[in-house]
Amino acid sequence: MEMKNLNKMNNFREYAPMNTVPAGQISADGRPFPQSYQEPGRKREGNNGNFDGLVFDPQFGPDGKNRGAGPGLSVTPVMNRPNSFLEENSKASPACTIAPTSPGRSTYSEKDGLRPVGDDAGHLDAYNSGSIRFFMTLLGCAFALAGSQIVGLLYLTLGTRISEDLGRPDLTVWLLSAGIIAMGSLAPFVGPVADLYGRKSIFLVGVSLGFIGAIVCATTPTAPGFIAGQALLGFGAVIEELMAISVVTEIVPTAKRGLYAALILTAIIPWSPGTLYADFMAASSWRWIGLPLAIWHLLIFVMIACFYFPPPRTNSQGLSRRQLFWRIDWLGGFLLTLGLLLILIALNWGGQQYAWTSSHVLSFLLIGFALLTAFGLWEKFGAKYPLYPRRIVRAPRPFYCILLLIFSAGINYIPLVVFWPIETIAVYGSDMRQSGINNLPIGTCILGGAIISALLIGLFRKHVTIIMTFFCIMQTCGTATLSSIDPHSLSSAWAPLCIALVGVGGVLVPNQIIITILTPDDLIASATALTVGIRSQAQVIGLAIYFSRFLKVLEKNAFAHLAAPIINAGVFNITVITNFIEGLASRPFDELAPGIPQLAGPAHAAAYHAVKEGAILTFKGAFDYIYLMSIGFGVAACIAAAAMGNVEQYIDDHVAVVLE
């Protein structure tokens, strides 16, 4: 509800009731006071000590017309009251409004609702980059962001090998996607909670979950246990990434968020050869991966616990713990989380354990979409304090374009990170050591693209749209070109692979920074949660779509290219043939073929080479299909980036939170 400023005739003619309403006060019927209010005697942090200067004036209605003082209320000019804040402060902030759906104290009416009233004057460059707490907080967030990314670098490229070692190749897709599903289902809910309760406690919970998940993955003897460990790592990773981005973006000036994003991304540099580390450790045992992960998370916990001390959240000031608890839309969070979880599980089941038309898949899909529909209706018509207030979308066009861009880029992340490592084994015959080397571009190029993109955004704020469109084109063209590489020459893959990976890195992380610029300060974590959640959900959807189509095309190609040579070699056992083809996804042909008597030894050299060529053509055609499928999603990302528009007006020197 918009309130007109009361000082029409005189800049200092402000009125307040004798019984001033304190911040966050709820009326008798349980609703926030719709008018502005004044909280005398209390200074707002980050505003140079100025009082809030907010006025609750029952004499004037929302339309600015004089309606009288009203029953039971006496109005006294503030200037005539003793010890008023105007006597102590030469300048008071202008009046502002309370948004009924906003928790705590919502005073965001400047710069299209992105800034608190009078805040620009008090928060410009209000950060001390030389303090030890600022430095260690930044370092802790950098480590946390790295910790959220290295889980995928270390485990995703070994999915087929881990499933084989645990004796459950039928659960490969679950071992690959359990962590991503956990991220996608939790992210949309944890962001709003962090905006209300604060960052530190939730940050530490996430780091602890990551620590426990690393230990579980390293010690479990079963595939279901590993899936549970991956889920814990996913919960921890999404909280770490969300909190790291939220904390860094709100403690530095808006104009420098891109530069600081590039800075904290450098913490991933030691882990950029993560695929190589993983393959080296897997040569002994993949279980060793849990050790460096656990140690890394322990370091994060110490830095955040000892050095990060944020001020109280403005959203929750003046609220009791009971009021704070009920400011969270628990029902909405339950509907959203469960709905997403059921849909993501159904997508993983479809075409794998169960047919797409099976009761398992259809029931989970229908119930999931019904829950999401119920969530939307509840948020719009029933929730007193929605998880995502409408004011989170202050700039609709760039906001929605960024979400679409992240969704499309998230889907195209899968062919490069999940399927390229399999191709290096199945098509190019890489062993453990060679596979680690061949997968080096995954970490280094994605990181390089993210850093370059973040730096460009920080330096050329007028050209954000051009920068994003450029990286989207790189991602789309690079991935599609992988379909034309020579199956007998690995060197032909390096150029398109690196171009595609740099494009992916340049799109995903920087867009999470851009969206915080378009969001009110008190909802930064909520907006970041949307980006992380949409990206994770897109990755699960992409994995389900690509993996299902990959298996279908692989089966078709096997009949066309592999059936004849392997039968001509004298191999007729269906179980042997099936296990052989499945094994090629995790071990090179030269390692598996000698185990089949009809292909072993110099006497069977001709059959050996014929079957090998058939296997290469079988897998190469399936991978080519995946890369060509990515074009549609890439084009959608390019269109979304080009339509984003100019966001320069929102990039200034404002600092959302000043560390204590």
Could you please report the per-residue DSSP string of 6-34?
S-SS-TT--EEESSPPPTT-B-TTS-B-S
Banded model confidence at residue 330, pLDDT cuts 50, 70, 90: confident
Among 120, 141, 165, which residue terminates a domain?
120
Query: String of b and e for 298-319 (b: at least 16 CB within 10 Å)?
Result: eebbebbeebbebeebbbbbbb
Q: Is residue 194 part of a domain?
A: yes
- Strand partners of residue 110: 115
Residues 594, 451, single domain; the answer is: no
Which alpha helices (DSSP H) does 569-604 contain, by range?
A: 574-583, 589-592
Residue type for 433, please? R
SS3 for 643? coil
Same domain, residue pair 11 and 76: yes
Classify burial at 612, counting beta carbons within 10 Å of its beta carbon; exposed 0-12, middle 13-18, buried 19 or more. Answer: middle
What's the pLDDT band for 587 if we cut at 50, 70, 90? Answer: confident
What is the pLDDT at residue 85?
35
Say yes or no: 468 and 514 in one domain: yes
Judge whether residue 11 has pLDDT over 50.
Answer: no
Residues 22 and 140 grouped into a single domain: no
Q: Is the dihedral of CA 387, 389, 394, 398 positive or negative?
A: positive
39: left (phi over 0), alpha (psi -120 to 50) or beta: beta
Helix (H) or strand (E) holding 413: helix 396-414
Q: Is the pLDDT of residue 344 over 90?
A: no
In this prediction the pTM is 0.71
Both tokens of 136, joined, read: 């260690």
Give 480: exposed, middle or buried? Use CB within 10 Å, 0-12, 13-18, 19+: buried
Question: What phi and psi, each to the nearest 5 degrees, are found at residue 136?
Answer: -70, -35
Tell me, yes or no, whether 103 and 156 share the same domain.
no
- Out of 216-230, 345-359, 402-416, 539-553, least confident range: 345-359
| pLDDT score for 652 | 66
Domain count along the chain = 4
In a domain, 37, yes or no: yes
Q: Is the pLDDT of residue 222 over 80?
A: yes
Quick one: pLDDT at residue 209?
Answer: 96
Report the pLDDT value the prediction gives residue 659, as an integer from 0 to 100. Answer: 66
Last residue of a domain, one of 54, 87, 120: 120
Last residue of a domain, one of 120, 152, 175: 120
Mean pLDDT over residues 65-94, rounded? Answer: 39
Using a 10 angstrom Cβ sphere, with 0-12 exposed, 13-18 middle and 19 or more buried, the burial of residue 60 is: buried
**How high is the pLDDT of residue 48?**
39
Lowest-pLDDT range of 52-66, 124-138, 268-282, 284-298: 52-66
200 with 286, same domain: the answer is yes
Any idea what DSSP says for residue 419?
Answer: I
Find the range with the poorest average confidence among 137-146, 571-580, 615-624.
571-580
Per-residue tokens: 570: 């004298």
Segment 44-66 mean pLDDT: 39
**Neighbour tally for 462: CB within 10 Å:** 10
> How many whole angstroms separate alpha carbon 530 and alpha carbon 523?
11
Could you tell me if residue 33 is inside a domain?
yes
Q: At residue 65, does pLDDT exceed 80?
A: no
| Statement to judge: residues 435 and 523 lie in one domain | yes
Across the range 290-305, mean pLDDT stands at: 95
Amino acid occupying residue 306: C
Note the pLDDT of residue 124: 47
> Quick one: pLDDT at residue 658?
67
531 lies in the same domain as 623: no
**Residue 178 maps to which CATH number?**
1.20.1250.20
Query: 660: pLDDT confidence band, cut at 50, 70 and 90?
Result: low
Let me know if residue 125 belongs to a domain.
no
Q: At what angle are helices 396-414 and 494-517 packed, to 10 degrees?
A: 150
537 domain-assigned: yes
Lowest mean pLDDT among 21-30, 82-91, 214-223, 356-365: 82-91
Please determine, for residue 490, whether its predicted confidence score (pLDDT) is greater than 60. yes
Segment 478-489 shows an average pLDDT of 94
What is the per-residue pLDDT for 77? 39
Maximum average pLDDT range among 166-175, 372-381, 576-585? 372-381
Does position 329 have pLDDT exceeding 50, yes or no?
yes
pLDDT of 110 over the 80 cut: no
Question: pLDDT grade, residue 42 (50/70/90)?
Answer: very low
CA distance 127 to 267: 22
Q: Is the pLDDT at 95 greater than 50, yes or no?
A: no
Can you state the percent helix, strand and coil of the chain, rounding each to 5?
Answer: 70, 5, 30
What is the pLDDT averaged over residues 114-132?
55
CA distance 373 to 366: 10
Distance CA 165, CA 163 (A): 5
Choice among 119-133, 261-275, 547-561 with the minimum mean pLDDT:
119-133
Say if residue 31 is in the same domain as residue 96: yes
pLDDT at position 315, please? 66
Distance of CA 397 to the CA centre of its chain: 20
Determine, yes or no, domain membership for 660. no
**Do residue 543 and residue 511 come from a single domain?**
yes
Give exposure, 584-601, as e/b (b: 16+ Cβ within 10 Å).
Answer: bbbbbbeebbeebebbee
- H or E stretch including 76? strand 75-77
518 and 448 both lie in a single domain: yes
Band of pLDDT at residue 126, cut at 50, 70 and 90: low
Burial class (CB in 10 A: 0-12, 13-18, 19+), 383: middle
For the cut 70, the answer to whether the pLDDT of residue 570 exceeds it is yes
Range of the domain at 113: 1-120
Residue 89 within any structural domain of the chain: yes
Residues contacting 439, CB < 8 A, separation 6+? 157, 275, 276, 279, 420, 421, 424
126 inside domain:
no
* Same structural domain, 460 and 516: yes
Average pLDDT taken over every residue of the chain? 78
